[in-house]
Structure 1
Amino acid sequence: MTNTGDLTTATTALGDARAQEALATVKKCVTLFGAVGVIVLGVVAVMAFTGGEASGFMWVRGVVLVAMAALIHRMTVRAAEGSYKAFDRVRTLSTVMPIAIIGVDLIPGLCPAWYAVLQGLSALALAGVAVITRGAALRAAFPGGK
């Protein structure tokens, strides 16, 4: 159940120029994460069709990360509309996912170096989201669990 007073407070705080700028930057970072994911998936497809190395792991992980980018982008849009739940999920996912992505990339022999490097670059975009969502502008816009 949504408390109208809480939503009004969040919406008012989101009207702040700093909060809007921060959320716009978050959207750009999430878009960058998705774009790198699409590039990785495209390279995997080209490699598969030309007889190069393209494992099932690379396909599945590529598809999952592109799907996650779309999901996180949608949550970012909802956060910009004033949803604390969506904001909290974006903040949590942007903290956990880069650690998981890089951690998996460090497993020897699981994926080729080029794949790990590109996935690591996409993780940097999400790490940026984690930093921005913990900044003063968005902490003020979303002061607590509403």
Structure 2
Amino acid sequence: MTTKTNLQPGALRALASARRSITLYGALTATALGAVAVVAATGHTVNTFMWVRAILLPVIAYVLHRITASAEAGSRRAFDRVSTLAVIMPIAIIGVDLIPGVCPPWYAVAQTLCMLPVIRVAFLTRGTALKTAFPKAG
């Protein structure tokens, strides 16, 4: 495992940008959780799926933030996880929301907006600086 000092400035900048994007993702998911709570409190229908996802996504944001910090410290394994999750999460989240009847359109839009910073992370982790800092093994 390399240390943070062994990563080039470009890689550190890219990982710092990824961490900020994950922080934004966390703030957006917390806002979505608040929206679900407000909708439920005002007597509108909120299904179990919406509650579970609204609660889990901010928790996932925290975990993803920690993993990204480990990647900043030079962990190849953490970088691989962040890189993989940044691709899988938007596809899974948006894909499920597109299934008719799973959630109301406003919730699907909110979840899509929450995924925009994660999509940015997917692009950042595939950039030249990070490909160079974490070359594929073998």
**TM-score over 0.5 for the alignment?**
yes
Residue correspondence of structure 1 range 40-51 to structure 2 within 5 A: 40-51=32-43
Give distance in 2, aligned partners of 1:7 and 1:79: 10
Give distance in 2, aligned partners of 1:54 and 1:11: 48
Contact 1:84 1:145 in 2 (8 A): no
Q: Are 2:14 and 1:19 equivalent residues in the alignment?
A: no
Q: Are 2:124 and 1:132 equivalent residues in the alignment?
A: yes
- SS at the partner of 1:7? coil
Residue correspondence of structure 1 range 1-146 to structure 2 within 5 A: 6-7=1-2, 11-12=5-6, 14=7, 16-145=8-137
- SS at the partner of 2:100? coil
Q: What amino acid does structure 2 have at the position aligned with 1:55? A: N
Provide the aligned C-alpha RMSD in A.
Answer: 1.6
Q: What amino acid does structure 1 have at the position aligned with 2:91? A: I
Structure 2 gaps of 5+ residues are none
Q: Which runs of 4+ in 1 moved over 2 A?
A: none
Give distance in 1, aligned partners of 2:117 and 2:41: 29
- SS at the partner of 2:103? coil
Quick one: percent identity of the two aligned structures? 51
Structure 1 gaps of 5+ residues are 1-5
TM-score under structure 2 length normalisation: 0.94
Q: Cα deviations across residues 67-117 of structure 1 (Å, max 9, x unaligned)?
A: 111110000000000111011000000000000011011001111111100
